[in-house]
């Protein structure tokens, strides 16, 4: 299996199997939502697009962020810990983020498309290996931060049949995450509650293989739809 990499700028040309990675926090949040019973998640590019989708499907819930904070009118932000314990049984969610959902939407030529983070890493590897592809493209959506390249390297090792120790990769997630909220909320431009929530979210972002499903995105008449695929 050939393993390739792409960025948000180059993923539009990627074909075959593409794994879009966003550890902090889009695809950790998406996994928690699906585990909480959400039937599907519709990833979109823009905040206004998300609002238009909710107007089309009033029963849907909208989650995500702009600049790290929930936009006005969204039901949830981009926080996996805020979704723990919620009952989302059967609900459609619409998700907009600055990196993760952009990667899914921009990977227009992919024949098979997955969203991934550490919480569903092994399940994603199993789902991809079952397809026996000749090549796989890994797309760490925030390649300038530490966590998405770390997850991409971890997935690449597992796809090659290795058994990587997650500890050094997760250490990069923690270190990279904390650099965003230090020395304080004034520098980040977030209110203090958002900083506290972000730090709590890091525990979930590091919960490797918490879930035994992959997240596969499929193109349907209504748009791109992300669902849980048990493996």
Task: Report the pLDDT value the prediction gives residue 21, as an integer from 0 to 100.
Answer: 98
Task: Report the pLDDT value the prediction gives residue 14, as an integer from 0 to 100.
Answer: 97
Q: Which is nearest to 47 in space by CA: 29, 30, 66?
A: 66
**Nearest-angstrom CA–CA distance, 80 and 117:** 12
Task: Report the pLDDT value the prediction gives residue 80, as an integer from 0 to 100.
Answer: 98
Tokens 């995105």, residue located: 217
Give the tokens for residue 199. 């730090």
**Nearest-angstrom CA–CA distance, 31 and 72:** 23
Give the tokens for residue 170. 């997760």
**Nearest-angstrom CA–CA distance, 1 and 81:** 35
* Residue pLDDT tens, the chain, 231 long: 999 999 999 999 999 999 999 999 999 999 999 999 999 999 999 999 999 999 999 999 999 999 999 999 999 999 999 999 999 999 999 999 999 999 999 999 999 999 999 999 999 999 999 999 999 999 999 887 899 999 999 999 999 999 999 999 999 999 988 887 765 544 567 888 998 999 999 999 999 999 999 999 999 998 999 999 998
The answer to whether the CB of 37 falls within 8 A of the CB of 26 is no
Task: Report the pLDDT value the prediction gives residue 105, as an integer from 0 to 100.
Answer: 97
What pTM was estimated for this model as a whole?
A: 0.95
Task: Report the pLDDT value the prediction gives residue 192, as an integer from 0 to 100.
Answer: 87
Q: Which is nearest to 86 in space by CA: 96, 95, 76, 78?
A: 76
β-strand partners of 214: 229
Task: Report the pLDDT value the prediction gives residue 174, as an integer from 0 to 100.
Answer: 92
The answer to whether the CB of 101 falls within 8 A of the CB of 64 is yes
User: Structural domain boundaries of the chain?
Assistant: 2-230
CA-based end-to-end distance of the chain: 20
**Nearest-angstrom CA–CA distance, 179 and 24:** 12
2-230 under CATH 3.90.1560.10, yes or no:
yes
Task: Report the pLDDT value the prediction gives residue 187, as an integer from 0 to 100.
Answer: 53
Task: Report the pLDDT value the prediction gives residue 186, as an integer from 0 to 100.
Answer: 45
Task: Report the pLDDT value the prediction gives residue 188, as an integer from 0 to 100.
Answer: 62
Strands (DSSP E) contained in the chain are 2-5, 16-21, 40-44, 61-64, 92-96, 110-116, 135-140, 213-220, 223-230
């Amino acid at each position: 299996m050939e393993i390739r990499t792409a960025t948000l700028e180059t993923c539009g040309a990627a074909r075959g199997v593409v794994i879009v990675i966003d550890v902090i926090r889009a695809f950790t949040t998406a996994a928690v939502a699906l585990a909480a019973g959400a039937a599907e998640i519709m990833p979109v590019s823009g905040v206004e697009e998300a609002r238009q989708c909710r107007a089309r499907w009033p029963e849907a819930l909208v989650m995500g962020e702009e600049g790290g904070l929930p936009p006005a009118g969204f039901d949830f932000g981009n926080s996996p810990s805020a979704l723990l314990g919620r009952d989302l049984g059967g609900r459609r969610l619409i998700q907009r983020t600055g990196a993760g959902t952009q990667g899914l939407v921009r990977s227009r030529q992919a024949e098979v498309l997955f969203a991934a983070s550490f919480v569903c890493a092994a399940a994603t590897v199993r789902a991809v290996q079952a397809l026996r592809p000749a090549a796989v493209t890994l797309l760490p959506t925030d390649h300038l931060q530490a966590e998405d390249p770390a997850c991409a390297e971890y997935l690449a090792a597992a796809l090659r049949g290795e058994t990587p120790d997650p500890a050094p990769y997760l250490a990069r997630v923690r270190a990279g995450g904390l650099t965003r909220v230090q020395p304080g909320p004034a520098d980040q431009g977030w209110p203090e509650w958002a900083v506290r929530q972000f730090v709590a979210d890091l525990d979930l972002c590091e919960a490797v293989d918490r879930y035994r499903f992959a997240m596969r995105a499929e193109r349907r008449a209504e748009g791109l739809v992300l669902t849980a695929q048990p493996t």
